[in-house]
Amino acid sequence: MDINVLVQEGAEIAQPFLENVLQKPEKTPGQKAIRKTFKGTAHLARLLPTGSVLTFQILSPILTHEGQCRSVTSQTLTSSLLAVCGLACFLLCFTDSFRDARGKVRYGMVTFKGLWIIDATAELSPEEAAKYKLKFIDVLHAFMSILVFGAVSLFDKNVAKCFFPAPTDEAKDLLIVVPATIGVICSILFLAFPSKRHGIGCPLSRN
């Protein structure tokens, strides 16, 4: 009996101790906001051409000196990076691809008349090229891509520190709310009006 009582008492003592060890520490509002920010960045980046996002993510910490921006030159170079990557996101929405007779992927720019093939060695018949004509949804996706890239850049801690080194509480809230709102709206529009293009930096089609 004594042994059973000791075992029960030991289990009762160990149970709250284990609960305290296994219980996850509560996260502060700031930590939750940062976690949501990183999740939002990863999700939004999927909506953009891979090359533009990768270039931005590689060069951003270098040009901003990890957010320090020690000189006007750093801010100028960072602004130029944002402009070039944003323009690339815009223009790449007007590209498409097809597979030639040998199964090789060929890229081109969509125009009002059809597809203008970048590689001049490949050719499309006028009927096939006409299937790639520029449409309103291409323009819509191009402008949404710029907005999404703007949201991704605002989510980036290096860019945020570079242009907003000492933000007020209101500015901090805006840096979280505005990009998240843009991301949600653009994500809904991307789902509601999907594009069938397989341009540069986008997943390739098997056909």
User: According to DSSP H, which parts of 100-195 are helical?
Assistant: 126-130, 136-155, 157-163, 169-192
- Whether the full predicted model's pTM is greater than 0.75, yes or no, is no
| Tens-binned pLDDT, residue by residue, of the chain (207 aa) | 454 444 444 444 444 444 444 444 555 554 454 444 444 444 455 566 677 878 888 888 888 888 888 888 888 999 999 999 999 889 888 988 888 777 788 888 888 888 888 876 677 777 887 888 888 988 988 898 888 888 888 888 888 888 888 888 888 888 888 888 888 888 888 878 887 887 776 666 555
Dig out the tokens for 30 from the structure.
């700031």
Handedness of CA 106, 107, 108, 110 (dihedral sign): positive
